[in-house]
Amino acid sequence: MSFRRRWRKSVNAVMLSVTGISALVAVSVLFFILGYLVWHGARALNWDFFTKLPKPVGETGGGMANAIVGSAKLLLLASLVGVPVGLLGGVYLAEFSGRTVSFAVRYATDLLNGVPSIVIGIFAYTMIVLRTKHFSTIAGGLALGVMMIPIAVRSTEEFLRGVPRELREGAMALGASKWKTIATVVAPAAYRGILTAVLLALARVAGETAPLLFTAFSNRFWSPGWNQPTASLPVMIFTYAIAPYEDWHQQAWAAGLVLLGLVLATNLIARAVLSRGVSMQRF
C-alpha cells in the first residue's frame, strides 16, 4: 500500500471516529442534563411542593402550588389564542387562499416565529399591561399564545396539504361543498398531525420565561381570576436559582424536574399520537 493510500485510510478511520464521538458527546449531554435534574429534583420533590404556597424569604419549606396552577392557567389562555388562530389560519392557507395573500400570511407567520420571546414580552407589555395598568395572567397568556400561532399554522397547513387528493375528490364527487369536505373529510384525516402540532407548541411555550417577566409578573399567593399577576413555574425557577438560599435552590431543582417532565411527556405523547396512529373518533 502506498503512503498516500495509508494516509487516506487513517484519515478515514480518524474522522469517522470523530463523528461517532461527536454523536456520543451530544447524546451524553442530554443524559447528563436529565440525570442531573432527576437527581437533584427528585430529592427535593415532596408533597409540600405541589400543595403549599411559597414561604417568606429566608424561611424553609413551602412549595409552588400557585406556580403550577399559574402555569396551567397561562397555557390554557395561550391555547385559546394560539389554537384557533393557528388552526383556522392554517386551514385558510391550505384550502382557500390565493397566491399573494398566502405569501403575505406565510411570511408574517415565519417572521413571528423568529421573533425572540423577550420581544414578544415587550409587545404584550405595551399592548396590555400599560393599557390595563396592571400585570395580569391575560397579558402573559396572550404573549404565550402569540408564540404558539406560527407553529400551529405551519403544521396545520402541512398536514392538511398532506391529505391525499383522492379523499377530497371523493367527497366532492359525492356532492359535498368545500367547507363540508374540509370539516368532515380532510380535517379528521389530518387530525393526528394537527394535534401533534398543538401539543408541541404547548410544550414549547410551557418553558418560556422571558415573556412572562413583565406580563404575568409573579405572585406569592394564589392568583384569583385572570386579571392579576400570577406565579409560574419558569419564573419561579429563575427567581429561586439566582438567589442565595439553599432551600430555594432545592425548590428550583424540583420545579425544573416537574417542568421538564411535563414538557418531555407532552413531546412524547405528541409523537406517539402522530406515528403510531392512536385512533380518535371523528368529531
Interface residues for another protein in 105-134 (CB under 8 A)? 105, 108-123, 125-127, 129-130, 133-134
User: Of residues 247-266, which lie at the interface with another protein (CB under 8 A)?
Assistant: 249, 252-253, 256, 259-260, 263-264
Site for another protein (CB under 8 A): how many residues? 114
Site stretch for another protein (CB under 8 A), options 12-20, 43-51, 164-172, 188-196? 12-20
User: Does residue 140 bind another protein (CB under 8 A)?
Assistant: no
* Residue of the chain from 6, 23, 39, 169 that contacts another protein (CB under 8 A): 23
Cα gap 168→274, rounded to integer Å: 21
Report the chain's C-alpha Rg in angstroms: 24
User: Does residue 52 bind another protein (CB under 8 A)?
Assistant: no
Shortest Cβ 140–another protein spacing (Å): 13
The residue behind cell 408564540 is 147
CB 159 within 8 A of CB 187: no
C-alpha cell at 256: 425544573
List C-alpha distances in Å: 83 to 23, 90, 141, 153, 163: 36, 10, 13, 9, 20
User: Does residue 42 bind another protein (CB under 8 A)?
Assistant: no
User: Of residues 192-231, which lie at the interface with another protein (CB under 8 A)?
Assistant: 203-204, 206-210, 213-214, 217-225, 228-229
CB 193 within 8 A of CB 155: yes
User: Does residue 172 bind another protein (CB under 8 A)?
Assistant: no
CB 140 within 8 A of CB 74: yes
User: Does residue 151 bind another protein (CB under 8 A)?
Assistant: no
